Amino acid sequence: MKMSKTLNHLASSLSPYLLQHQYNPVDWYPWGKEALEKAYHEGKPIFLSIGYSACHWCHVMEKESFEDKEIAELLNKHFINIKVDREERPDLDRLYMSCVQAMTGHGGWPMSIFMTPDLKPFLAGTYFPPTSRYGMPGFRSLLQEIIQQWKHNRTKLAASSEKVFQYLWEEESQHQQFHGSLSEKLLEGLIEDCQKDYDSDWGGFGKAPKFPQTGVLFALLHQYHHHEQPENLKMITHTLEQMARGGIYDQLGGGFHRYSVDEKWLIPHFEKMLYDNALLSRLYLESYQLTRQKSFLDVALHTLQYLLREMRDPLGGFYSAEDADSEGEEGKFYLWSLAEIEESLQDPQLFCHMYGITKEGNFEGRNVLHLLTPLGALSLQEQEKLALDRQILLEKRNKRIRPGLDDKILVDWNALLISSLAKAYQITGESLYLEAAQQAAQFIENNMIQEGRLYHLWRRSLGSTPGFLEDYANYILALLDLYECDFNINWLERAQNMMEKMKVLFWDPKDKAFFASSPEHGSLLVRKKVFNDDATPAGNAHAALALLRLGSYYEHGEYNQMAEQILSLHATAMQQAPKWYGTMLCAVDCYLSSMQQIVLLGDAQDKKNSRLACCNL
């Protein structure tokens, strides 16, 4: 079972994920006119596989199935095979994930969709092993069954796909039923919902696996600003403390992994995503502003320094992700044996005690570093020794083979980081953070805008995918954050220009909210609107925040009205399931509290003025 040396149709892609599959014996096509027309003219079903470069199980399915000659022959003979990078086409990912969840009750990646030539799914799943195991059907036998069904029961498959299409259509046409009024009760409902699900032992919400629910935590911060309820603040601070001590946080190099497989934040899924680290660094910064707890500032700056050191393109933009795997093993780059620690450090006893290092290990015989007790409990001398030990181990780790790097640059994720860098500058006054934010924005201006419109992806050259709602909304907020740092009027004017483009491309006058994609993205089964957060803030939530902030600068009544319409459209849904709508609730809070402008007059270089500007007013 060797990989084909023949390039398939992915060879000219910009996406690192698609390029990982360019030598598969599967005759992959990228999503586009050529593949879709081929399926239609040949009357073949489409196999759509959606994943991303840092996804461990995507790599597993590639090795087990997509590099298997027999499976490839079945796919090539009987299907049109399309490979999609979910980060390059989030609209397709979101649409077909709705199908997977509706048909199976769960979701995940790699996403595996079988559909008719008119793009309607009739069977869906995620990872499939090559042969039956884990209670799942084998991929080879599944293909053989679908081939037979397509030959002999195509009408039945078409009927099944039509039901899925109707479900998607009805789901998207029912936004008006969630319309409601906006009040403080929505934010109060969030607190009640969080308290029911809060893990008082380890922080966070729910059971394993645990994700950093940044939207929820930001909304709790907003609520605390108004009501200062101690139990509310405790949920925030305890969660941040536990995450910072756990293995989900890279104790040596800084930055957060994607999620924890256990409730203790101990064993992570090892990929590092730009959006997680942008959002979490800002969350820790804002929590520091509120509490003045120095450990929060340390974690935030350590995370930003990791991004500046490892994820920054020489032209100023930031890369998307680091893989979970190196040398074909999950987490290998980050793991340590007791022997390695003892060999590296002159006096390893304190380090091993503090970071839970044992001979047995906690992950496949090796150790994920995690803090057993807070560093603040140690003497200054002990803290200094641990800092030196960490630097020694980091330098040794840097000699290892690093995980794979996804070096594409995305507008929406870079915009999230620009906002965090701007916040870091406001708090610390350190110019390096402002300069990095300015350079990232200038990279977007120079490389990712054509004829006034954003493009979603850049990797050594500009990709062909037009910008999505999240690109515009996130970038507008980033421009406003930059303006509030350096008061360069160009940022404010660019933000308004982008808002006008966003209205033209995405606004739906019927529902009075924004579509996630524009007509430029081609014909989709359903053009979706997104209000609830997933790993990143919902597009309509950030759009509403951008409208409110721009409205306050320009005293633009239309902007405020549009924000109210967006938020009201899903007010009932926010009341029913508030934890799904953290960023929307942040926008509701901004709408209800009406933004205030505070003008500081004086020399911006005066340290007294800069300290005042950094206060949590």
pLDDT digits 0-9 by tens, 179-237: 999 999 999 999 999 999 999 999 999 999 999 999 999 999 998 987 788 888 999 99
- At residue 427, what is the residue type? I
Q: What is the pLDDT of residue 51?
A: 97
The mean per-residue pLDDT over the stretch 166-174 comes to 89
Q: How confident is the model at residue 1 (pLDDT cuts 50, 70, 90)?
A: very low
| 2 has a pLDDT exceeding 50 | no
Question: Which position has the token pair 């048909």?
Answer: 103
CA dist 300 and 306 (Å) reads 10
pLDDT digits 0-9 by tens, 370-391: 999 999 899 999 999 999 999 9
Crossing angle of helices 431-447 and 294-310, in 10° steps, is 40
Which of 418, 407, 406 lies closest to 444 in space, CA to CA?
418
pLDDT digits 0-9 by tens, 328-360: 899 999 999 999 999 999 999 999 999 999 999
Phi, psi angles (nearest 5°) of residue 269:
-85, 120
Helix (H, G, I), strand (E, B) or coil at 29: strand
Report which DSSP code applies to 521.
G
Give the predicted TM-score (pTM) of the model.
Answer: 0.95
The mean per-residue pLDDT over the stretch 150-171 comes to 93
| 605 has a pLDDT exceeding 70 | no
Burial class of residue 7 in the structure, from the number of CB atoms within 10 Å of its CB (0-12 exposed, 13-18 middle, 19+ buried): exposed
Q: What angle is formed at CA 402 by the lines to CA 398 and CA 405, rounded to 5 degrees?
A: 130
Q: What is the pLDDT of residue 229?
A: 83
CA dist 173 and 194 (Å) reads 29
Which of 125, 116, 303, 91 lies closest to 214 in space, CA to CA?
303
In this structure, the dihedral spanned by the alpha carbons of residues 516, 517, 523 and 528, taken in order and rounded to 10 degrees, is 0
**Bridge partner residues of 123 (DSSP):** 114
For CA atoms 22, 414, 305, 442, give the dihedral sign: positive
Residues 6+ apart with CB under 8 A from 262: 208, 209, 210
| 38 has a pLDDT exceeding 50 | yes
Contact 187, 589 (CB under 8 A): yes
The mean pLDDT of the chain is 94
pLDDT digits 0-9 by tens, 242-272: 999 999 999 999 999 999 999 999 999 999 9
The token pair that represents 369 in the structure block: 């570093």
Q: What is the pLDDT of residue 607?
A: 62
| 83 has a pLDDT exceeding 50 | yes
Report which DSSP code applies to 519.
G
Q: Other CB atoms closer than 10 Å to residue 391's CB: what's the count?
A: 11
pLDDT digits 0-9 by tens, 545-556: 999 999 999 988
pLDDT digits 0-9 by tens, 451-492: 999 999 999 999 999 999 999 999 999 999 999 999 999 999
CA dist 440 and 418 (Å) reads 7
Q: What is the pLDDT of residue 410?
A: 99
Write the DSSP string, 127-152.
---SSSBTTB--HHHHHHHHHHHHHH
The token pair that represents 589 in the structure block: 């809070």
Report which DSSP code applies to 64.
I
pLDDT digits 0-9 by tens, 457-467: 999 999 999 99
Residues 6+ apart with CB under 8 A from 592: 182, 183, 184
pLDDT digits 0-9 by tens, 289-305: 999 999 999 999 999 99
Answer with the residue of higher pLDDT: 398 or 605: 398
Q: What is the pLDDT of residue 72?
A: 98
Crossing angle of helices 69-78 and 139-152, in 10° steps, is 20
CA dist 370 and 358 (Å) reads 12
pLDDT digits 0-9 by tens, 386-396: 999 999 999 99
User: In whole angstroms, how large is the CA radius of gyration of the chain?
Assistant: 25
Residues 6+ apart with CB under 8 A from 601: none
Give 40's Cβ-side CA count (13 Å radius).
9
Give 163's Cβ-side CA count (13 Å radius).
9
Burial class of residue 347 in the structure, from the number of CB atoms within 10 Å of its CB (0-12 exposed, 13-18 middle, 19+ buried): exposed
Label the pairing between strands 457-458 and 409-410: antiparallel
Q: What is the pLDDT of residue 612?
A: 63
Q: What is the pLDDT of residue 613?
A: 59
Domains of the chain in sequence order = 16-173 (3.40.30.10), 185-326+406-613 (1.50.10.10), 332-402 (no CATH)
The mean per-residue pLDDT over the stretch 579-589 comes to 97
Contact 235, 219 (CB under 8 A): no
Q: What is the pLDDT of residue 133?
A: 87
The mean per-residue pLDDT over the stretch 41-52 comes to 98
**Rounded to an integer, what is the distance from CA 77 to the centroid of its chain?**
36
Contact 133, 60 (CB under 8 A): no
Q: What is the pLDDT of residue 555?
A: 84
Q: What angle is formed at CA 398 by the lines to CA 392 and CA 402, rounded to 5 degrees?
A: 150
The token pair that represents 29 in the structure block: 């096509």
- At residue 374, what is the residue type? P
Q: What is the pLDDT of residue 158?
A: 93
Alpha helices in 429-555 (DSSP H): 431-447, 469-486, 489-506, 539-554
Helices vs strands, H then E, count in the chain: 24, 18
CA dist 495 and 517 (Å) reads 19
| 422 has a pLDDT exceeding 80 | yes
Residues 6+ apart with CB under 8 A from 495: 476, 479, 480, 483, 546, 550
Q: What is the pLDDT of residue 437?
A: 99
